[in-house]
Amino acid sequence: MKQRGISSFAGQRIWIIGASSGIGEACAKALIKAGAKVALSSRRIERLTALAAQQDTLVLPLDVTNQEQITNAYQTLLQCWGGLDLMLFVSGVYTPLRADNFDFEIAKKTIDANLLGPMRAVAVVLPEMLKRQSGHIAIVGSVAGYSGLPKALAYGPSKAAIINFCETLYYDLLPKGIGVHMISPGFVATEATAQNDFEMPALISAEEAATEILKGIQVGEFDIHFPKRFSGFLKFLRILPYPIYFWILRRFVKI
């Protein structure tokens, strides 16, 4: 059994959480262009409003760490649209952390935003989708969730858990007619990566990332990862025995 995709985005009701910049903003622009009905969420309302000015679009500001705000935004969306076809959760935060500057408060905030955030949103949209036996849930994780990498002492675990969460959702929801899309980008040039002080291999633009994401959702792909030359290599690394994995990491990753 393979899950169905969304062959055309025209007229589809799509909620993008984390739409104010980077990958989420690029997805929003592409979906608006494709004729989708789009609802934009994140904290920076002025950026969402500027994006929405391009079309008749819902602006639903929220903080993903706040359950009540997510629930209220979804209720508004339902009142306006009567249903939801795709929840695209892009929001995420990244603070470089290594063992010598490990900070539990940063770790807690990272898990709250990157893992509990998507879980809150899924908990809110699932009952209606299950009732209708249709809809799609897409969550942006990261290739940093594949296996342990430097400077990702909180970010890595938050994204590793997203992989497990999506796998389990996919297992449960495939027979129910609900699509699940796990999105694992490599390096993408955005505000989040502008802070990186090292050369990012296989760096792509947010627009290229959006193209990959929307293409994957259209064909019903569960495991959407890109760019393949980088994500494919990391997938290979994670199946190696640990001594070889860590040897390669120490030999070639100079950060």
Ligand X SMILES: NC(=O)c1ccc[n+]([C@@H]2O[C@H](COP(=O)([O-])OP(=O)(O)OC[C@H]3O[C@@H](n4cnc5c(N)ncnc54)[C@H](OP(=O)(O)O)[C@@H]3O)[C@@H](O)[C@H]2O)c1
Which residues of this protein are in contact with ligand X, per CB under 6 A? Answer: 18-24, 42-44, 63-65, 90-94, 113, 140, 142, 185, 187-188, 190-193
CA angle 131, 9, 171 (to 5 degrees): 45
Q: Is 198 left (phi over 0), alpha (psi -120 to 50) or beta?
A: beta
Contact 88, 15 (CB under 8 A): yes
Report in angstroms how near the CB of residue 116 gets to ligand X at its nearest.
Answer: 10
Report in angstroms how near the CB of residue 60 gets to ligand X at its nearest.
Answer: 11
Distance CA 160, CA 149 (A): 11
What's the chain's length in residues? Answer: 255
Cβ proximity to ligand X: between 92 and 216 the closer is: 92
Report in angstroms how near the CB of residue 106 gets to ligand X at its nearest.
Answer: 13
Residue 231 burial (CB count, 10 A): 21
Report in angstroms how near the CB of residue 49 gets to ligand X at its nearest.
Answer: 11
Cβ proximity to ligand X: between 92 and 157 the closer is: 92
Residue 147 burial (CB count, 10 A): 18
Residue 135 burial (CB count, 10 A): 22
Cβ proximity to ligand X: between 130 and 192 the closer is: 192
Cβ proximity to ligand X: between 130 and 203 the closer is: 203
Report in angstroms how near the CB of residue 43 gets to ligand X at its nearest.
Answer: 3
Report in angstroms how near the CB of residue 65 gets to ligand X at its nearest.
Answer: 5
Backbone angles phi, psi at 61, to 5 degrees: -65, 140
Cβ proximity to ligand X: between 177 and 223 the closer is: 223
Cβ proximity to ligand X: between 123 and 244 the closer is: 123
List helix spans (H) across the chain. Answer: 22-33, 45-52, 67-81, 104-111, 117-132, 155-173, 206-218, 228-237, 242-252
